[in-house]
Structure 1
């Protein structure tokens, strides 16, 4: 999902995220956050780079779960005890030209 969709979704579940370990995976590795303020700052930095976001993994007391959307995550909060969430930021080319440039210089 693009940054605007991601931020709107996070606002909807903000109360559920308090007290959880939040992790952001990007091209530089993994960063863990204990506060929503730190996490929000990192999201804004990734947004400046033009990155998109997705939910990579959710940990519950029963094990890890794959979640594909914020809506699914919100439902999971109702049925399971979530302990941590890993999000991922990634560059997703929007045009054919951006995709071609991702391979490097073209002669």
Structure 2
């Protein structure tokens, strides 16, 4: 089994309500786009597990039988959010993020 890994320093910052909303939106958008349907699925219909599991991956509930998915946050500089999502129920993928200067 492989987990999400990140190179570089990790930040431990308590999220503000604004950054928490941004992270939630980014996770939902990544999951919707991973289905191939994009935001047309209706982001209000995409559910993201609040607590990550399995190496930092959040379970995703998709509407209309679009199948299982998982989403993982990608750490960026403060004020920015990114997430990557995968569909299917296969093994947890490896995710390595490298910062280039």
If the TM-score is normalised by the length of the shorter chain, which range does it land in?
Answer: 0.3 to 0.5
More helix by share: 1
TM-score with structure 1 setting the length:
0.32
TM-score with structure 2 setting the length:
0.33
